[in-house]
Amino acid sequence: MTVLPHSTDVLHRLNDAVDGFLRSEREFDLADPSAHMLVGGRFRTLSTQIGAGVLAGVPDEDIAAIVQPARSKCSRSPFMRDENEWARGYPSDFQLVEHVMAQANNAQAGTLGWHVEAHLQGSAITQQQRNRVMHQARLISDTLTAPRNGPRSVLLIASGAAPDLRLIPPGILRPGDRFVLTDVDPDALELAQKRLGLLNEVTTAVPGNVFRALPKLAELGPFDLVLVNGLYDYLNDRAAVRLTEAVLTRLCRPGGTFYFSSSTTGNPFRWSLEYLMDWSVVERDERAVRALLPGCDVSAGLDPTGLALLTHVRTRR
């Protein structure tokens, strides 16, 4: 890629943003917890300048080289280090979700990494993850408490350690209600089983890639509610259509609900996620999501942060 003539100024601004971020260690009192607001301001400036470089046509490798010192500092934040290293072999693994849900800050106090962590845990990018989990918990609760003859069944795809299901009080279950969890990571399912308590008695875990697990999941169905937890963030359109069709034709009960969340367009955290954390997601606006669901009864809306699109599909009776 050839750098456009006007990108020289962009490179200067990006270098200045990196330098400003690194100077935070000298210019701010990092022993003061409130300094995370100042560090966060420089982190946002850095993200903005990375985006400006991309839009100006600066080659990816040049941007990556310029921001490397900042990336190295950011890796002292456990949140960003885990994403950089992909400890589980894939981005946004279940351990990161657990970390975000706990709103933990395990970085060393008084360091730049602590303040980056504090900034991120208080930002919209982590709040949207918590919003997704809380919304899914409400959907599960609504399914369990809705008037209906007979037991209810819920399937959680890409369930992780089921932080949404763990919010459900066992007391609202009726005889015959059951849950099925499936995830590519068996350790996620093992953690779910350790933390579900009494719900374990009515929960079945199916490990493996969801496409390979479809026959087993279909045997355990049909389901009143099928939740897909963030997987659409990593599926191209072809794979997304394939999964959507399988859920609607093989897994959902007629009159049941299919729900999935996805990252919407215009994410202001996109550039910092991609260049400082190697975390890329597939962004879709409502039109793109509806294109995956032609002829379906679709309801879609944004979470309170505006970063996550929450899509509900009612299957035909």
Instruction: Copy the structure tokens of residue 290.
Output: 């509806």
Q: Which domains does the chain have, with CATH numbers?
A: 7-112 (no CATH), 126-314 (3.40.50.150)
| pLDDT score, position 257 | 96
pLDDT of residue 95: 84
pTM: 0.90
Phi, psi of 53 (to 5 degrees): -65, -45
Q: pLDDT value at position 179?
A: 98
Range 64-92 burial, b when 16+ CB lie within 10 A, else e: eebbeebbebbbbbbbbbbbbeeebeebb
Report the Cα 171 to chain-centroid distance in Å. Answer: 29
Residues 6+ apart with CB under 8 A from 95: 82, 87, 88
> What is the per-residue pLDDT for 93?
77
Sign of dihedral through CA atoms 287, 127, 303, 248?
A: positive
Instruction: List, in order, residues 6 or more apart from 194 with CB less than 8 Å away.
Output: none
Per-residue pLDDT of the chain (317 residues; tens, 9 = 90+): 444 555 788 999 999 999 999 999 999 999 999 999 999 999 999 999 999 999 998 999 999 999 999 998 888 776 665 544 444 454 557 888 898 999 988 888 999 989 999 999 999 999 999 999 999 999 999 999 998 778 999 999 999 999 999 999 999 999 999 999 999 999 999 999 999 999 999 999 999 999 999 999 999 999 999 999 889 999 999 999 999 999 999 999 999 999 999 999 988 888 988 898 888 899 999 999 999 999 899 999 999 999 999 999 998 77
From CA 153, how far away is CA 137, in angstroms rounded?
Answer: 14
User: How many Cα neighbours within 13 Å face the side chain of 99?
Assistant: 20
Q: Residues 153, 204: contact at Cβ < 8 Å?
A: no
- Block residue for tokens 């995830």: 183
Q: In this structure, what is the dihedral angle of CA atoms 285, 240, 297, 264, given to the nearest 10 degrees?
A: -20
Determine contact, residues 123/210, Cβ cutoff 8 Å.
no
DSSP string across 20-82: HHHHHHHHS-TTSGGGHHHHHHHHHHHHHHHHHHHHTT--HHHHHHHHHHHHHHHTTSHHHHH
